[in-house]
Amino acid sequence: MKILMIGDLHGRWDCLNILINKKQPDIIISTGDFGYWPKFPNNVEKIKNKNTKIYFCDGNHEDHWSLRKLKDNEVAPNVFYMKRGSVMEICKKTFMFFGGAYSIDRSERTIGVDWFPEEEISNEEIKQLDMDLKIDIMISHTCPLEFNVKDPRKDYISMIRFSRKALSYLLKQYKPKQWFFGHWHFYKKGNYEGCKWKCLNMAGRTMWWTEWKA
């Protein structure tokens, strides 16, 4: 199977459609800020994925109220929202999806329109997890505090929020071998105590996607 991981899409369906047409993957996994805004015109119905299945976790920039009202996680043909804590098996590897992050631009946004308090991971969501699961690969939007993604262009202190602390807890509990995330709008990779991680860039920039092999 050909499986691609992608960074922040922010509704750039043109980039996504070009990638699908060029690479023809079986599966695409999005690390959040996918661009789910059903109340706005530029939404997921513009995705031309054909037989490619797309799975996305939520970023901080999504319509979280609409996501939480979904009765079915298939938001468009072969496009699936993976709730926080969702688990699935691909190529005999267990993936966990855990979206959510803090918006540093929240003061410029309007609650219920383009900002939602539910953007951050909650303690209740962590408590609901089965800690006995064996997780091979984590898919999240932001990342654990242990991953060195410091960006000198941003106020790093404001990024140390509960969401990152919660993911640090999952890193310690599950000890996955791989971790993919976005959120930071640049590409970087590293290794923390046996966990190989990749921070993917945003759509339209270099290294915004990568191919995953089991």
What the block records as the tokens of 50 is 């054909």
Number of domains observed in the structure of the chain = 1
List strand residue ranges (DSSP E) for 44-177, in order: 53-56, 74-76, 79-81, 86-90, 93-98, 137-140
Average pLDDT over all residues of the chain: 94
Q: Say if residue 189's pLDDT is above 90.
A: yes
170 half-sphere exposure, CB direction, 13 A CA radius: 38
As a whole-number percent, the residues of the chain with pLDDT over 90 amount to 88
32 lies in which domain range?
3-212
Q: Say if residue 74's pLDDT is above 70.
A: yes
The full DSSP string for 48-62 is: --TT-EEEE---SSS
The pLDDT assigned to 21 comes to 97
* Cβ–Cβ < 8 Å for 198, 179: yes
* Cβ–Cβ < 8 Å for 96, 135: yes
* Neighbour count for residue 175 (Cβ, 10 Å): 13
The pLDDT assigned to 133 comes to 97
* pLDDT tens readout for residues 30-50: 999 999 999 988 789 999 998
Model pTM greater than 0.85? Answer: yes
pLDDT band at 158, cuts 50/70/90?
A: low
As a whole-number percent, the residues of the chain with pLDDT over 70 amount to 95
Angstrom CA distances, 131 to 17, 174, 193, 195, stand at 37, 7, 19, 18
Q: Quick check: helix, strand or coil at residue 166? A: helix
List strand residue ranges (DSSP E) for 47-148, in order: 53-56, 74-76, 79-81, 86-90, 93-98, 137-140
Least reliable range by pLDDT among 19-28, 42-51, 53-62, 196-205: 42-51
Expressed in percent and rounded to 5, the helix, strand and coil fractions of the chain are: 20, 25, 55
Cα 184 to Cα 98: distance, rounded to the nearest angstrom: 16
CATH number at residue 153: 3.60.21.10
Cα 194 to Cα 85: distance, rounded to the nearest angstrom: 22
What the block records as the tokens of 157 is 């202190």
* pLDDT tens readout for residues 104-124: 888 899 999 999 999 999 999
* pLDDT tens readout for residues 50-62: 899 999 999 999 9
